Amino acid sequence: MRMSEWLVSYPHRLDSFLAEEGRVLSREKAKRAIEEGHVRVNDVIVKKPAHRLEPGDRVIVSDDASTPTESAIEPKDLHLEILYEDEQCFVINKPAGYSVHPGAGAIDEPTILHGVALLFTKMKIPFSSESVLVHRLDKDTTGCLLIAKNPAAHIALQKQFETRTVKKTYLALVAGIPEKSQAKIDAPIGRSSMNPTKMAITGTSTSREAQTTYRIVGKASNVALLECDLHTGRTHQIRVHLAGIGHPVLGDSSYSSALSERVVQEWEVESLCLHAWKLTFESPADAKDHAIEAHLPAQFLEILKKLNINFLA
- Active-site annotation, residues: 138
Question: SS3 for 306?
Answer: helix
Contacts of 267 (CB under 8 A, 6+ apart): 223, 250, 303, 306, 307
**In contact, 301 and 309? CB cutoff 8 Å:** no
Q: What is the spatial distance between Cα 274 and Cα 299, in angstroms, rounded to a whole number?
A: 11
Following DSSP, what letter does each residue of 147-168 receive, concatenated? EESSHHHHHHHHHHHHTT-SEE
Q: Is 211 exposed, middle or buried (0-12, 13-18, 19+ CB in 10 A)?
A: middle
**In contact, 294 and 186? CB cutoff 8 Å:** no
Following DSSP, what letter does each residue of 53-78 receive, concatenated? E-TT-EEEEETTSSS--GGGS-----
Helix (H) or strand (E) holding 3: strand 3-7
Q: Is 54 exposed, middle or buried (0-12, 13-18, 19+ CB in 10 A)?
A: exposed
Question: SS3 for 274?
Answer: strand
DSSP 8-state code for residue 214: E
Q: What is the amino acid identity at position 191?
A: R
Helices (H), the chain: 14-19, 27-35, 112-123, 151-162, 237-244, 258-266, 298-307
